[in-house]
Structure 1
Amino acid sequence: MLNMTRSRPWIVYRDLSHALGDIIHLHVLGQHIVVLGSAQAIYEYLEKRSANTSDRVQSPMIELSGSSLNIAFMPYGQWWRRHRRSFWQYFHREATEGYKNTQQSAAHIFLQELWERPSDLREVIRLNFTAVIMKIGYDIPIQSKDDPYLKIVRDALEGPLEGLVPGRFLVDFLPFLRRIPPWFPFAASQRLWVKWQAAGERLKNTPFEEAKAKLARGETTHSIVANSLERLSNTGISSPEEEEIVKNVGAIVFEAGTDTVLSTMLSVFTGMSLHPEVLTKAHAELDAVIGPHRLPDFSDKDSLVYVNAIIKEAMRWHTVLPMGVPHATIADDEFRGYFIPAGTMVIPNTWACMHDPEVYEDPDVFRPERFIRDGKLNPTVQDPTAFSFGFGRRICPGRHFAEAVVFINVACALHVFNITPPLGEDGLPIEVKQGHTDSFLSYPEDVRCTIKPRSATAEALIRSHATAARQALNG
């Protein structure tokens, strides 16, 4: 069973669900595991009964991957509530309205960066999101692709990405393995864990200390960290514990959003490259709604029905979290006649839900039209965003922020760029592999594509907006 589920386990579990039903029970080395294989089962158990399903199994890999401060993996309780409350005050729907100017400026810079180095799509997207987070979180500008903070973020995200697929590391089931020293022969995993934990600490501490030093020097600074520290000071409740929460919340934003945004945007570009008919329809809508002489902004969102459908289809087609973040039961429970012991790991197979042919016809096909009826988004079609950001009381509190970042970047990019298959040395299109990576957060496997401005007018739009955007974001 361990070997069977260590590579793309969401497919294995999907096949088991087809044979055995949408509730599967496994018992692996003392750990009870329940896999929910349908949207209905997930909704009934993780949403409607979240009072008992909102805990997390405290796998050793949460700490060893450098993810122990991430609110998504904290045990359900007061410490988690304090972090969520602190995070939520800056990221509820109304609060995120205040970040839209920063997000839009970053999107304009993204266009210029992508025009100048289109072959670095992955890194350009990462630069864009990191710049937004560093600005609102710490008031620290990201100046270039060589900024040291980009490496700090990249290194810190490696651990969660590679280390949190359930069952990939045997230490999940044999905890004594964590005590093997990293210098021991054949201790390659242990050496990885040391590296990942150090990277997580750098992400938590380095930007926080810079933001704190700005305050100490009396510099005028507006950021989540600065505002939080000033509030603690003004209310007289500052303490090492409260400061630790502020520090953690700053770092949580990266781990909660960076790779979700990255995976979704890579899926959009891959979909456009493989399906030119979709891009043609997107261009037609953008030309009709926006016109050639400006870029999209957030006020256009409701009018860009097809662009919104593309984003939903990208999230469905390449599921960002194929097995979500596993929940755990707090007390003994019963569900559909099955006894579920306290401490059971409950895995929502979100990939299977997003590729259910009874819900989405031809699920392997990229088809945004499935979300549209009579020229509007169809509310009767299962919305992929409901599966991308978690369930019940553990739903991602940063979802509104992440959705806004994806929308403004996708809308602006589709408005000014043609996106076509990559070309070989002979000038002929190269076949792109339609697969996804085997990791906790999953990406399209082959994201090569050709990205060029649609016209001279599009080039002028990119140029004219980038300079002002850099001044706004880095000033």
Structure 2
Amino acid sequence: MSDSIVVLGSASVIMEYLDKCSANTSDRKQSILIELSGSDLNLGFMPYGNWWRRHRRAFWQYFRPQAVMNYRPVQKTMSTRYLGKLLRDPSRFKRYMRYTFSATLMKVLYDIEVADENDEYIIKVEQAVQGAAEGTLPGRFLVEVFPFLRHVPEWVPGAGFQERFAAWRAAASELKNAPVARVKDSMERQEGAPCIVREMLSKIVRSGVEGPTLVEEEEIVKDVAAVAFEAGSDTTLSTLQSVFLAMALYPNVLKHAHDELDTVVGPTRLPDFSDKDSLPYINAIIREASRWLPVIPLGVPHCTTEDDELHGYFIPKGTILMPNVWACMHDREVYPDPEVFRPERFIRDGKFDVTTVRDPFQFTFGYGRRICPGRYFAESSLFINVATVLHVFDIGLPVDEAGLPIKIVPDLTDGLLAYPQDCRCTIKPRSPEGVQLILKSLQAEQIK
């Protein structure tokens, strides 16, 4: 625990050091917690180097903007399925969110149809994400300070952490290996539809590599798919929960969104990706949600690879750099009344604008060479789900047994990945016509 730690508290310093000087600030500190929790399989935690570059190159090939457009039909279908689930049981909206994002990625990555929110893969991704969020939190486990404790049996008093780490590690391993094995099996039987993993494996076969190189290439396929599934479903989940909470707390914002959707989309269809540029307020709501309650309040820590200097301060090799995302997103000089949810911050002359005000996505998705390569897929998923839900549903505060509104205080959970601490709300169809639109859309998509 003698590592130097520098907290970067301003946007200008973060961009200067982590973005423009990324050649020396793109490493990740390797902690025993990363290994024990199974997070060493995660591209986001890998040390900076050739192995990481090979993973990122493969990831980017399938999640660059042009490639992401190919996945929009799946995202659209899953967003419609989410509406059907909300219509049947709105009280489980958070559980259905997890299902929606996870099922989307399972289809895109592995061509696997996830049955429902209790599917084994949904459970595994929850466990793996918990390991990444809780298991890597500095100062939480004594084994970080005394690594020899990793060898102490779990039945020894004080070693109960072993059981938790074992469960997280097993979930991460299964999430990495089991779906790829299913794709391989379907390829051998010459069954199944195109998907990312199938294409990656086919590319390896066509290249003719064998021996150790073949093993490495297949490991990259497993790692890339697993981290896309794990990270892609979780960051979007947190932001969408923040949108629901904001709509419950700010009915004027919800009304503005309804008015825009009614004008642009109309009552006879659901929003589509072709509407995106015509829905500036919906885009602004998503940006404001990522600012208001940021998914990773302290960012993912970077690490220097060599000695350095920053504004006259000596930065030793191996220094942990923590970008204070929360401070940047709640900077009163940039965002007046930062605790208030106000999408109008990102509207200029009636148009969506993130050029004249600080763009929260510059902080949500990381910096420099470590910027999240899945950001375009995440943005697409958020847009289609926010637009479709707000088009047909009203969202309000939860009520008690007497029917009175329950006061909700917006706050975040602890952990590397943060979620709204309390996002209870009431969800009701806006109109009978909206209900019929949902049912008609489900039927058109052949969704039960």
- TM-score tier (shorter): over 0.9
The answer on 1:269 being equivalent to 2:244 is yes
- Cross-structure match for 1:381: 357
Query: Residues 58-101 of structure 1: CA distance to partner in whole angstroms, max 9, x if unpaired?
Result: 01111122211111110001110111111111000111010011
Shift, 1:470, TM fit: 4.8
Alignment of 1:387-402 (within 5 A): 387-402=363-378
2:310 to 335, 340, 345: 335
Q: State the TM-score, normalized to the length of structure 1.
A: 0.91
The answer on 1:79 being equivalent to 2:51 is yes
Answer whether contact 1:105 1:470 (CA < 8 A) is retained. Answer: no
Once residues 414 and 203 of structure 1 are traced to their aligned partners in structure 2, the CA distance between those partners, rounded to angstroms, is 32
Answer whether contact 2:111 2:192 (CA < 8 A) is retained. Answer: no
RMSD (CA atoms): 1.3
Alignment of 1:27-426 (within 5 A): 29-238=1-210, 239-378=214-353, 379-426=355-402
Shift, 1:256, TM fit: 2.2
Shift, 1:259, TM fit: 1.2
Which amino acid in 1 is paired with 2:405? P
Shift, 1:353, TM fit: 0.6
Once residues 301 and 445 of structure 2 are traced to their aligned partners in structure 1, the CA distance between those partners, rounded to angstroms, is 40
SS at match of 1:56: coil
Say if 1:467 and 1:172 are closer, same or farther in 2 by CA, change over 3 A.
farther
SS at match of 2:39: coil
Answer whether contact 1:371 1:381 (CA < 8 A) is retained. Answer: yes
Once residues 467 and 154 of structure 1 are traced to their aligned partners in structure 2, the CA distance between those partners, rounded to angstroms, is 30
Answer whether contact 1:309 1:371 (CA < 8 A) is retained. Answer: yes
Answer whether contact 2:3 2:319 (CA < 8 A) is retained. Answer: yes
Shift, 1:145, TM fit: 2.2
Between 1:56-65 and 1:41-50, the stretch displaced more is 56-65
Once residues 357 and 188 of structure 1 are traced to their aligned partners in structure 2, the CA distance between those partners, rounded to angstroms, is 44
Which amino acid in 1 is paired with 2:28? R
Post-superposition, which runs of at least 4 consecutive aligned residues in structure 1 deviate over 4 A? Answer: none
SS at match of 2:46: coil
Once residues 389 and 60 of structure 1 are traced to their aligned partners in structure 2, the CA distance between those partners, rounded to angstroms, is 25
Between 1:368-377 and 1:34-43, the stretch displaced more is 368-377
Unaligned runs of 5+ in 2: none
Shift, 1:40, TM fit: 0.6
SS at match of 1:52: coil
Answer whether contact 1:328 1:345 (CA < 8 A) is retained. Answer: yes
Shift, 1:105, TM fit: 0.7
Q: May I ask how many residue pairs the two structures share in their alignment?
A: 444
- Cross-structure match for 2:425: 449
Between 1:234-243 and 1:66-75, the stretch displaced more is 234-243
SS at match of 1:346: strand
The answer on 1:430 being equivalent to 2:402 is no
Once residues 79 and 467 of structure 1 are traced to their aligned partners in structure 2, the CA distance between those partners, rounded to angstroms, is 46
Unaligned runs of 5+ in 1: 1-28
SS at match of 1:291: coil
Shift, 1:322, TM fit: 0.6
